[in-house]
Amino acid sequence: MDNPGKFYITTPIYYVNARPHIGHTYTTIACDAIARRQRMLGVDTWFLTGTDEHGQKIERSAAAAGCTPREFADRISGEFRALWDRMGVTYDDFIRTTEPRHARGVQALFARLQERGYIYKGSYSGQYCVFDELYVDAAEPGAPCPECGRPTETVHEENYFFKLSAMQERLLKYYGEHPDFIRPETRRNEVVSFVRGGLRDLSVSRTSFKWGIPVPNDPKHVIYVWLDALANYMTALGFGSDDPKDRARLARYWPADVHMIGKEIVRFHCVYWPAFLMAADLPLPKSIIAHGWLLFEESKMSKSRGNIVRSETILDTLGQDALRYFLLREIVFGQDGSFSFDALVQRFNSDLANGIGNLASRTLSMIARYFGGEVPYPSASERAPADEAIGALAQQTITDFHAQFEQFQFSRALETAWSLVAAVNKYIVENEPWSVAERDDQDSRARLATILYTSAEALRVVTALVHPVIPEATAKIWTQLGLGEIRQMDLRELAWGQLQLGTRLGAVEAVFPRADKSMVERMQQMEQQRSAEITKTDETKAAAATQAETAPALADSSGGGVVEKITIDDFLKVELRVGQIKVAEKVKGADKLLRMEVDIGTEVRQIVAGIAKAYEPEKLVGRKVVIVANLQPRKLRGLESNGMIVAASLGDDGLPVLAGFLEDIPVGAKLK
* Interface residue list for ligand ME8 (CB under 6 A): 12-15, 23-24, 26-27, 52, 229-230, 232, 261-262, 264-265, 293-294, 300-302
> For residue 370, which of 451, 458, 475 has the smallest C-alpha distance?
451
Q: How far is the CB of 266 from ligand ME8 (least distance, A)?
A: 9
Q: What does DSSP assign to residue 504?
A: B
Query: For the chain, what percentages of helix, strand and coil (3-state, to nearest 5) are there?
Result: 45, 20, 35
CB 464 within 8 A of CB 420: no
Calculate the alpha carbon distances from 430 to 424, 436, 524, 608 in Å: 10, 11, 39, 83
Question: 422 in the Ramachandran plot: left (φ > 0), alpha (ψ -120 to 50) or beta?
Answer: alpha
**Given the complex with ligand ME8, which of 38 and 232 has the nearer CB atom?**
232
Q: How far is the CB of 333 from ligand ME8 (least distance, A)?
A: 11
Q: How far is the CB of 336 from ligand ME8 (least distance, A)?
A: 8
CB 507 within 8 A of CB 480: yes
Q: How far is the CB of 519 from ligand ME8 (least distance, A)?
A: 23
**Given the complex with ligand ME8, which of 35 and 553 has the nearer CB atom?**
35
**Given the complex with ligand ME8, which of 14 and 410 has the nearer CB atom?**
14
Q: How far is the CB of 10 from ligand ME8 (least distance, A)?
A: 8
**Given the complex with ligand ME8, which of 35 and 607 has the nearer CB atom?**
35
**Given the complex with ligand ME8, which of 12 and 433 has the nearer CB atom?**
12
The SS3 assignment for 616 reads: coil
- Cα 653 to the center of its chain, rounded Å: 36
Run of H or E including 626: strand 624-628
**Given the complex with ligand ME8, which of 265 and 437 has the nearer CB atom?**
265
**Given the complex with ligand ME8, which of 286 and 619 has the nearer CB atom?**
286
Q: How far is the CB of 72 from ligand ME8 (least distance, A)?
A: 14
**Given the complex with ligand ME8, which of 160 and 226 has the nearer CB atom?**
226
Sign, CA dihedral 86-88-93-97, equals: negative
Sign, CA dihedral 425-430-435-436, equals: negative
| Bridge partners for 134 per DSSP | 129
**Given the complex with ligand ME8, which of 315 and 590 has the nearer CB atom?**
315
Calculate the alpha carbon distances from 632 to 15, 575, 578, 635 in Å: 41, 12, 18, 10
Q: How far is the CB of 550 from ligand ME8 (least distance, A)?
A: 29
**Given the complex with ligand ME8, which of 23 and 610 has the nearer CB atom?**
23
**Given the complex with ligand ME8, which of 293 and 410 has the nearer CB atom?**
293
**Given the complex with ligand ME8, which of 262 and 552 has the nearer CB atom?**
262
| CA angle 248–254–255, rounded 5-degree value | 160
Q: How far is the CB of 260 from ligand ME8 (least distance, A)?
A: 7
**Given the complex with ligand ME8, which of 69 and 376 has the nearer CB atom?**
69
| Residue 550 CB partners (closer than 8 Å, separation 6+) | 646, 647, 648, 649, 656
CB 549 within 8 A of CB 649: yes
Pairing mode, strands 182-183 and 288-291: parallel
**Given the complex with ligand ME8, which of 335 and 540 has the nearer CB atom?**
335
| Amino acid in the structure at residue 107 | Q
The SS3 assignment for 585 reads: strand
Q: How far apart are the first and last CA of the chain?
A: 59
> For residue 410, which of 47, 84, 27 has the smallest C-alpha distance?
27
Q: How far is the CB of 410 from ligand ME8 (least distance, A)?
A: 14
| Bridge partners for 187 per DSSP | none
Neighbours of 570 (CB within 10 A): 10
Q: How far is the CB of 218 from ligand ME8 (least distance, A)?
A: 23
DSSP string, 290-351: EE-PEEETTEE--GGGT----HHHHHHHT-HHHHHHHHHHHSPTTS-EE--HHHHHHHIIII
CB 277 within 8 A of CB 164: no
Calculate the alpha carbon distances from 93 to 10, 226, 511, 607 in Å: 10, 20, 30, 51
Q: How far is the CB of 14 from ligand ME8 (least distance, A)?
A: 4
Is the previous residue joined to 376 through a cis bond, with omega within 30 degrees of 0? Answer: no
Q: How far is the CB of 147 from ligand ME8 (least distance, A)?
A: 11
**Given the complex with ligand ME8, which of 231 and 614 has the nearer CB atom?**
231
| Residue 18 CB partners (closer than 8 Å, separation 6+) | 76, 302, 303, 304
Run of H or E including 590: strand 590-599
Q: How far is the CB of 211 from ligand ME8 (least distance, A)?
A: 14
**Residue 477: burial class (beta carbons within 10 Å; 0-12, 13-18, 19+):** buried
Q: How far is the CB of 418 from ligand ME8 (least distance, A)?
A: 23
